[in-house]
Chain A
Amino acid sequence: MEKAHSKHNWKSNTLPALVTVGPLTLILVLLVAIPLIYVVVMSFCSIDQYYNVEFKFTLDNYKRLISPDYMKIYGQSLLIALVTTLLCILIGYPFAYIIARTKSKKKRLLYMLVIIPFWTNSLIRIYGWRTFLGNNGWLNSILQTLHITNEPITFLYKQGTTVLGMVYCLLPFMIFPLYTALEKLDGSLLEASSDLGAKPLVTLREIIIPLTSGGIFSGSIMVFIPCLGYFFVSDILGGGNSDVIGNLIERQFQSGNNWPLGAALSIILIAVTLILVRIYKKMGGDMESLGV
């Protein structure tokens, strides 16, 4: 077939290739490649006294990036992302296992029930948490009526609340790939394992987890990376006291008025993403499963 193609003239090969891939190439080059290159260029620029970007080469932005204060926020942000990812695995794995392996006819419905919350605006759901957890919120009212506590407990505006919001927003991204992986799992393998006398935990460790590791990896990537950028979650629930890297970038593009510094901060996120994707691929992860 390849040969047949090469024999064909321009019209039968190049033209259809151009028609099919052309628009895609245009979009990807103009709206992905060039903007990202421009961000890299901008990260080496400076600003004048009126906050305008000046195309004068400087390393100042990067010097500011490695200051201990910024380092602390990166650390905090990575920690929030890590805890969120672990919690998502801890909750998402058994959950996906149960609904993927249920013999119930409601299986599809159970799966749909995870997607439905997605179709309600995510900001308003996050705000719902704020109403629920507030000092005069639902949870405190319940606790006080049950006399579990007399004074309202402050749940809001802590790092833990930010983590809660992140887990809430990103849990489905962990569940979907795990569900796909677990559904493919061959039931007879599990039976064989238990027939041979393996304890459930051993079966889990030796068979189930290794066979679904692909799902765990892609789920982790889909949770960890967005977590670094979801500035609105920490804005609404963290009360601005548990910033992630996304907040730093957003601030420089809004009130900070320092786009080059914001661009340099974005480079950190790009670098982290590249490293993680590299590791993911090395461990045999499939890029396509991140998007389906």
Chain B
Amino acid sequence: MKRQRKAKCKKGISIIFVTLVYLFLFLPISVVVVNSTNATTTKPYLSWKGFTFDWYIKLFENDELLGAFGNTMIIAIVSTILATAIGTLGAIGMYKYKFKGKGIIDALAYIPVVIPEIVLGISLLTIFAKVNIPRGMLTLILAHVTFSVPFVIFNVRARLAGYDNSIEEASMDLGANRIVTFFEITLPVLAPGIAGGALLAFTLSIDDIIISYFVYGQTKTYPLKVMESIKSGVAPDVNALSTLILIATIGLVILTQSGLFKKKKEN
């Protein structure tokens, strides 16, 4: 009896604790959602002037904000594709082949993960300035590829750890060439690792501020646009866009959780 009560009590405390942590995580998001419906139109948009959905319409007239969001998406997609390709190939190559300087490349790959982002940001800025590459979309993509490649490598490598070379050899023995073998045998086995790496690269890219801050030139990304609007008070339409993004991601999560995951179990 006593034990049961104790267990119940413990469970109660656990639930309360977990709820509090989620509250902590979601509290500022609720501020964002509420502020997106504030009818105020005067900077710095602090006082509550009533409830409205107008900002969700006005948002689509704000070319600059949408343009910045478009930039973020382009950079995230391109850099994720590049980082995934480069990282996957690199991880496979490093796993399969022995060559001089492998240790150095391996060590270099850890740097973007552990080093504070600001150091990576300023080092890219100084080198871009030195060789005079105009800052903009190109430098942003290069920077994003640089910091996300290692995450792809690690994820693919985790998958490679249990990889059996003999199927590849069998495929080659059966007459498939290297490229066919790569696409038909190697890639599918590594797919979950690659997908995990790509997802991580994408997530890191869309929310990156510190590194982008040093190399953006004239191409503002969505986080940089937010940074700029924080200077003069965050307008409700910025909050509205953030809310829409939040709803979209939650929708995506629900979709993957309910639909696709069940199928996975059936397989």
Interface residues of A (CB under 8 A from B): 1-2, 5, 13-14, 16-17, 19-21, 23-25, 27-29, 31-36, 38-39, 42, 91, 94-95, 98-99, 108-110, 112-114, 116-129, 131-132, 134, 136, 138, 168, 171, 221, 225-226, 228-232, 236, 246, 249-250, 253, 259, 262-263, 266, 269-270, 273, 277, 287-288, 290-292
Contacts and interface: CB of A to CB of B under 8 A. Distances in A.
B-side interface mostly: helix
B24 interface: yes
Contacts of A129: 27-28, 31
B17 A95 contact: yes
Contacts of B203: 118-119
A-side interface mostly: helix
A226 B32 contact: no
B112 A253 contact: no
Given A1-B165, A125-B28, A125-B29, A34 B127 contact: yes
Contact of A168 (B24, B108, B178): B24
Interface of B: 14, 17-18, 21-22, 24-32, 35, 46, 85-87, 89-90, 92-94, 96-99, 101, 105, 108-120, 122-127, 130, 142-143, 145-146, 149-151, 153-155, 157-158, 165, 178, 196, 203, 206-207, 209-210, 214, 222-223, 226-227, 230, 234, 238-239, 242, 245-246, 249-250, 253, 257, 261
A290 B150 CA distance: 10
B210 A229 contact: yes
A20 B117 contact: no
A110 B25 CA distance: 12
B89 A236 contact: no
Nearest to A164: B24
A116 B222 contact: no
B231 to A, nearest CB: 10
Contact of A38 (B31, B113, B130, B153): B130
B123 A124 contact: no
A19 B89 contact: yes
A117 B25 contact: yes
